[in-house]
Amino acid sequence: MCAVNTVNAQHSHHKPALLGSVLHNKCSRCRRGDLFVGHNPYNLKTFMQMNEHCPVCGQRFEIEPGFWYGTGFVSYALSVAVCVATFIAWKVLIGFSLDDNRLFWWMGLNGLLLVVIQPVLMRLSRTIWLNFFVRYDPLAAPIV
Ligand SMILES: [Zn+2]
């Protein structure tokens, strides 16, 4: 009995990191349950299928009808952040000039990158959006 209690105490004190739980699309309340049914964002038939409730703590993910519409703002911000990051990286590594087509190469490749990483961004946006409204609760995860 005593040994079990010690294990429980360790488990409940372990707080999964915010960044890791967001990047792995975990429930924002317990940071353990998966938001999405599948793990592969590039399985394009199922990549946006979500669990209705957190499989670990039971948190409902779509907390009100139309809740995910706000995800668009997050998705937009993430896309802009990617553009800024690639722009800076391109400027540092390759540079821009008015005498050649380097600017247009950046625009084309940046656009292509945005399309390719879109499934990841869409899933990430939902996780971030949920984190705005559902806070971490150390007591949410059931002690096993
Ligand atoms: Zn949960």
Gap between the Cα atoms of 120 and 118, Å rounded: 5
**134 CA from centroid of ligand 1 (Å):** 10
Residue 140 has what pLDDT?
87
> What is the model's pTM?
0.85
Q: Where are the domains of the chain?
A: 18-133
Q: Which residues of the chain have pLDDT under 70?
A: 1-13, 143-144
How many residues can be counted in the chain? 144
Residue 123 has what pLDDT?
97
**129 CA from centroid of ligand 1 (Å):** 15
Q: Which chain residues have CB less than 5 Å from ligand 1, an ion?
A: 27, 29-30, 33, 54, 56-57, 59
**138 CA from centroid of ligand 1 (Å):** 10
Gap between the Cα atoms of 133 and 32, Å rounded: 17
